[in-house]
Amino acid sequence: MEPPRFPYRHPYREVVPSTQLGRGRVDNVARPLHYRLPKLIAWTDGRTHSRTISRRPLSSTLVPSFVLRFTTAGESHGPGLVSILEGVPAGLPLSAQDVDRELRRRQQGYGRGRRMQIEQDAIELLSGVRAGQALGSPIAMLIRNRDWRSWQEIMDPAVREGDPAARRRAVTRPRPGHADFVGMLKYDREDARDILERASARETTARVAAGAICRRLLEEIGVSVGSHVVHLGGIDAETPAELPADLNAASDASPVRTLDSAAERQMVELIDRTKRAGDTLGGVCEVVCRGLPLGLGSHVSWDRKLDGRLAGALMSIPAVKGVEIGMGFGAARVPGSAVHDELGADPQRPRAGHVGRGTNRAGGLEGGMTTGEPLVLRVAMKPISTLMKPLGTIDVTTGEPAAATAERSDVTAVPAMGVIAEAMVAFVMADAVVEKFGGDSLNELRRNMDGYLSQVAARTNW
């Protein structure tokens, strides 16, 4: 695969409320949120600066998060999935449809198996939202598995008469590349189903639900997150010099979520051929986040750097094996003059500190902080490890050589992975926004962000 070509042009318009420009305001303080003490300090000459004292919450995710937290629960063929997101400012306009739209996007994509025809993912909002607005309390969502109907006997949480006989379809031939084998030994289980049900990528439904709420928060401050497939199973997609302003409208229109129609045809054919061969395919998605103000994240400590927070979040997606930021690995091959983005004054770019860079090889991050340029990340997924023409393994009941279990599965889930990657990026960036601007309510967050942007504007009024 060719190294990614940079720069792309990412057209977007910065939306800056008029209150942000030119004037400082006496906007005293954001009240402390659970984990931090944000303070916006106003000077008599109208300038403001913000100070933040952060304390890390006990995070239940892999990723160091500072204010937002989410956790998921649920097995692939159990009764349903649960997603709980905490730390969302009160007053965020929110409906179940906002989340369901994203869940539907995740279910699309050529190459999925029959399961996606069975499920019609939608949330039931259990808490944290009233009359279309977030309350600031934990938001709990339930997504029922329609396939549960066919699995009640096998997945029943209760002991059934005749157990363990009723559950004889035990999975004992672990799939190479899956969590099956190590999970069975580590958790002392005899049936790999006890592992694979939770290791299943079905769990990503609950992530997309949490990410959809984070996306709503970002939208409120003029930030968008989109993705497209740039590679699938050996086929590169041409990326246009200018990405469409509405990236997802363009990529979602393609069955493989790519912007290159010639590559799309080849990818679809390849998926068909691979299915006939009983094999699976991986690929690469690009995620782009536009409209971010400069200065989210921090250079001061390892766990506050956004590079690590983003890479950790993305690498936690099942089957993801690599993340590149900007030029990524390509930056290691060429001299610095071909890597770093030169700065020039640009009065049209208030969110980038009135600086234009011309190129965005850094992918929107310097020193672990946003530069105000679009955030550009590439995420690589390995092929799914359930092969209909199975690889060799052992039967753990006998230790004898065997063909690995071949359960119904997908040929590829790369198009869906882009949507999941968007959700994880939305979570990390929404966390960084609330970390920087604080606020128990959306109004408070907006005021703090306005004050910060006025301060930046005052410093860069060249």
Q: Which residues make up the interface to ligand EPS (CB under 6 A)?
A: 76, 113, 115, 119, 147, 200-202, 205, 386, 407-410
Q: Quote the Cα angle for 417-418-424, to 5°.
A: 85
d(CA 426, CA 210) in angstroms, rounded, equals 9
Query: Which DSSP helix (H) or strand (E) runs through 287?
Result: strand 283-290
Of 417, 454, 443, 391, the closest CA to residue 322 belongs to: 417
Q: Is the separation of the CB atoms in 70 and 57 below 8 Å?
A: no
Q: Quick count: other Cβ atoms within 10 Å of Cβ 182?
A: 11
Q: 120: which DSSP letter?
A: -
Q: Quote the Cα angle for 206-209-213, to 5°.
A: 145
Give the number of residues written for the chain.
462
In whole angstroms, the minimum distance from the beta carbon of 26 to ligand EPS comes to 51
In whole angstroms, the minimum distance from the beta carbon of 63 to ligand EPS comes to 21
| Residue among 147 and 236 whose Cβ is closer to ligand EPS | 147
In whole angstroms, the minimum distance from the beta carbon of 271 to ligand EPS comes to 15
| Residue among 124 and 407 whose Cβ is closer to ligand EPS | 407
| Residue among 63 and 143 whose Cβ is closer to ligand EPS | 143
For 161, residues 6+ apart whose C-beta sits below 8 A from its C-beta are none
Beta bridge partners of 93: 133
| Residue among 205 and 371 whose Cβ is closer to ligand EPS | 205
Q: Radius of gyration (Cα) for the chain, nearest Å?
A: 23
| Residue among 20 and 280 whose Cβ is closer to ligand EPS | 280
For 3, residues 6+ apart whose C-beta sits below 8 A from its C-beta are 327, 329, 330, 333
Q: At what angle do helices 414-437 and 96-107 cross, to 10 degrees?
A: 150
Beta bridge partners of 286: 228, 378
Token match 């966390």: residue? Answer: 431
Identity at 152, one-letter amino acid code? Q
In whole angstroms, the minimum distance from the beta carbon of 122 to ligand EPS comes to 13
| Residue among 20 and 385 whose Cβ is closer to ligand EPS | 385
Token match 């590829």: residue? Answer: 412
d(CA 263, CA 256) in angstroms, rounded, equals 10
| Residue among 76 and 248 whose Cβ is closer to ligand EPS | 76
In whole angstroms, the minimum distance from the beta carbon of 407 to ligand EPS comes to 5
Local structure of 86: helix, strand or coil: strand
Q: 122: which DSSP letter?
A: -
| Residue among 410 and 422 whose Cβ is closer to ligand EPS | 410
For 104, residues 6+ apart whose C-beta sits below 8 A from its C-beta are 121
Token match 């984070």: residue? Answer: 214
**109: buried, middle or exposed (CB in 10 Å: 19+, 13-18, 0-12)?**
buried
Q: How many H helices and E strands in the chain?
A: 11, 19
| Residue among 84 and 384 whose Cβ is closer to ligand EPS | 384
| Residue among 81 and 430 whose Cβ is closer to ligand EPS | 81
d(CA 339, CA 443) in angstroms, rounded, equals 39
In whole angstroms, the minimum distance from the beta carbon of 119 to ligand EPS comes to 6
| Residue among 147 and 279 whose Cβ is closer to ligand EPS | 147
In whole angstroms, the minimum distance from the beta carbon of 318 to ligand EPS comes to 6
